[in-house]
Amino acid sequence: MEIFVTHSWINDKPDDNALKLVAVLRENGYNAVCDVILTQHETASNFNKMMAKGLQANKVIVVLSEKYKEKADSYKGGVGDEYQYILEDIKKETQKYILVTFENDRDKVTPEFLRGREILSLDKSEIISNDLLYKINGISSCAFPED
């Protein structure tokens, strides 16, 4: 299973929390990638091609931040393009996208058209939560008897 972690760069640098998330997922045996990993394998990366390929992964983890919200809501740059795609695809692929944040105030990081969707809060010190693992692996967090 391939996991693509998408995020917004902050002050012309990758989001450290997103990079740590990718690293921890890889340490735990998941095939997790992000734009930084993909661009390190090519000398002249085509961002749109890379983004399109990444969004075809089995699971896409969207790391929400204030910068992501700003770019998504204004449809700016790669985040803006990606956001438009996600808004359409999330309607069909209801188990594919996992929205996460490392911030306490979800209103500050949630783009307008993703409001009302479940967003997992991740801890910067622990990074991977049981809820995230359940979502990645498609496992219910609560077991119920069959009908």
Model confidence, pTM: 0.90
Tell me the per-residue pLDDT of 106-129, one tens digit each, with 9 for 90 and over: 999 999 999 999 999 999 888 888
Quote the CA–CA distance of 73 and 70 in Å, as a whole number.
Answer: 5
Quote the CA–CA distance of 59 and 85 in Å, as a whole number.
Answer: 15
2-137 under CATH 3.40.50, yes or no: yes
Is 119 within 8 Å of 80 (Cβ atoms)? Answer: no
Tell me the per-residue pLDDT of 16-56, one tens digit each, with 9 for 90 and over: 999 999 999 999 999 999 988 766 665 556 667 777 788 89
In Å, how far are 69, 70, 116, 128 from 73, measured between CA atoms? 6, 5, 15, 27
Q: Is the dihedral of CA 124, 17, 98, 134 positive or negative?
A: negative
